[in-house]
Chains A and B, each alone.
Chain A
Amino acid sequence: MKQRKLVVISAGLSQPSSTRLLADQLSAAAGRAAAQLGVTLDAQVIELRDLAHEITDHMLTGFPPASLKQAQEAVTAADGLIVVTPVFSAGYSGLFKSFFDVLDNDALVDKPVLLAATAGTARHSLVLEHALRPLFSYLRAAIIPTGVFAASDDWGANSVEGPLRGRIDRAAAELAREIDRREPVTVTDPFALTASFEDLMKNL
């Protein structure tokens, strides 16, 4: 079996959190779909609430405290991402956006990313299209076609066979296929010398 790394980012704030619930269901479904393709997904969940102070510190000082640095390195090294935000004021939450604001601009290039969001009502379902998709397009991620939105109603419906279940499985299968067909991610060292002095002079 191939080994690949999945990172799941949850921006839910409450305990228990429907955002985390959706994140866990997506993660489990992705694990099953990947297994069918012969890929073992090693999943790590990052709760942004735990990093809220560190994210602000990074914004103000220009470097990440150790715990945030670990999270950023995990995201950069991941072969696939699942990102889940609650809808706040008709968009992703500020905490969710801030995490990506302080992430290196190139960290998500060509990385398969599954977009997901939760809200109290289905009226917010287009948040995936008008907020999340443009953000991850800008970051040049390989966005999975199926995004998953869950409103409070979805949790009341039959969660084993209901429509949410179907969307979760479809999105997870798409993510697994994208991870499967890519080479594992290699991380470039920001401190490595990429051009000798002769090259620097030549490239003037």
Chain B
Amino acid sequence: MQFGIFSVSDITTDPTTGRTPTEAERIKNIVTIAKHAEEAGLDVFALGEHHNEPFFSSSPTTTLAYIAAQTSTLQLSTATTLITTNDPVKIAEDFAMLQHLADGRVDLMLGRGNTGPVYPWFGKDIRAGIPLAIENYSLLHKLWREHVVDWQGKFRTPLQSFTSTPRPLDEIPPFVWHGSIRSPEIAEQAAYYGDGFFANHIFWPASHTQRMVQLYRQRFEHYGHGSADQAIVGLGGQVFMRKNSQDAVNEFRPYFDNAPVYGHGPSLEDFTRETPLTVGSPQQVIDRTLGFRDYVGDYQRQLFLMDHAGLPLKTVLEQLDLLGAEVVPVLRKEFAALKPAHVPDAPTHRSLLASKNIKEEVQA
């Protein structure tokens, strides 16, 4: 099982000091955070894509390439790459390029984006969100698998004898996760292609996640990719930890109360009950996270949101240390002990290359 962190790249004022980091600071900090994630023993770093303030991450592959150059084992991913407003041709090129530079340590998570004003900035219409996601991905899928592509669709100009370059590393397309909160169509899309399904999970009641994952698993089996429990599932999570749980609650509360997404609304206690947010000791985080398996089954990837709402860099790095030293080793052991042998791990470039080589040997 893979463990890691995902960042939404928000630049938020620290409510306890009133200080707002500059873009330059926050961008350099995210690199420090990603490198520290690897040092702390985590597997994955995923970065969001946004085109509006207060977010900085408009160009995730640039950032990820820079991080790739300074890490050696960290799997680089996105959370999410906008399949609606980005040209699928550019996604195909950018991520193939990143694959080569990062020696294959690359996958990506596709999402629709729910910020209405962003769509027209890229010449698109949010009302066509689902059809855009369906058509754009069918083209992206083709571009990574066919050398010369002739294509015609509704949302972009046709392609004649087009080859996207560079080709995917070893002719193996990056593994794709489809992210969605409550659109059954996206679970269906992930299942149809046999791709991964990532449930945002945080900010929403567990019942949403349970229903969406269940649908994805059923349809994954329906389309013949394996049994329902072999489908590739990822979950988000959100935690804040200190040795003593009351210290965690006291320290995190001002960040919670003023957070951009849920601030000035429900209490920390309400939100902890209604969503997967866990604020407390490492042991509480372990127990809660192990409980996710009860409603989604054995799953392959767990990402935590650690660096939002104005938390200072020092605190984020401390959180990564706690995660890497006290939480993830236990979770690895416990989840592995529970997982049946026929449930696969999340595909990586290395595992996909190995199975490709085996397939070619059999054919030869």
Contact = CB atoms under 8 A, between A and B. Distances in A.
Interface stretch (A139-147, A158-166, A170-178, A193-201): A193-201
A56 B261 CA distance: 14
Nearest to B211: A191
A191 B261 contact: no
A193 B204 contact: no
A36 to B, nearest CB: 41
Given A63-B204, A193-B188, A200 B262 contact: no
Nearest to A64: B205
A1 interface: no
A61 interface: yes
B184 A193 contact: yes
B264 A196 contact: no
A167 to B, nearest CB: 40
Interface stretch (B127-135, B230-238, B240-248, B313-321): B127-135
A192 B182 CA distance: 10
Contact of A190 (B138, B153, B182, B271): B182
A158 B153 CA distance: 71
B131 A204 contact: yes
A91 to B, nearest CB: 25
B251 interface: no
A57 B203 CA distance: 12
18 contacts: A56-B265, A57-B266, A60-B262, A60-B263, A60-B265, A61-B266, A61-B271, A63-B204, A65-B274, A191-B208, A193-B184, A193-B187, A194-B184, A195-B188, A197-B188, A200-B130, A200-B185, A204-B154
A66 B275 CA distance: 11
A187 to B, nearest CB: 14
Interface residues of B, number: 33
A172 B131 CA distance: 45
B215 interface: yes
Interface of A: 56-57, 59-63, 65-66, 190-197, 200-201, 203-204
Given A192-B184, A193-B215, A201 B261 contact: no
A185 to B, nearest CB: 21
A194 B185 CA distance: 8
Contacts of B211: 191
B265 A61 contact: yes
B204 A197 contact: no
Given A62-B203, A200-B130, A191 B266 contact: no
Given A65-B274, A191-B215, A193-B215, A203 B131 contact: yes
B81 interface: no
Given A191-B211, A193-B188, 8 more contacts: A60-B265, A61-B271, A63-B204, A65-B270, A193-B185, A197-B188, A200-B131, A204-B135
Which secondary structure dominates chain B's binding surface?
helix
Contacts of A62: 203-204
B270 A193 contact: no
A61 B261 contact: yes
3 shortest interchain CB distances as A-B pairs: A60-B265, A197-B192, A191-B211
Contacts of B308: none
Contacts of A204: 131, 134-135, 153-154
B278 interface: no
B215 to A, nearest CB: 6
B219 interface: yes
Given A191-B211, A200-B134, A57 B270 contact: yes
Given A200-B189, A203-B131, A191 B182 contact: yes
A93 B270 CA distance: 26
A190 B131 CA distance: 18
Contacts of A190: 182
B168 to A, nearest CB: 23
Given A196-B188, A201-B138, A61 B262 contact: yes
B203 A61 contact: yes
A72 to B, nearest CB: 13
Contacts of B264: 60
Given A61-B265, A200-B134, A200-B188, A193 B219 contact: yes
Contacts of A66: 205, 274
B265 A57 contact: yes
Contacts of B215: 191, 193
A59 B266 CA distance: 10
B134 A65 contact: no
A201 B139 CA distance: 12
Nearest to A190: B182
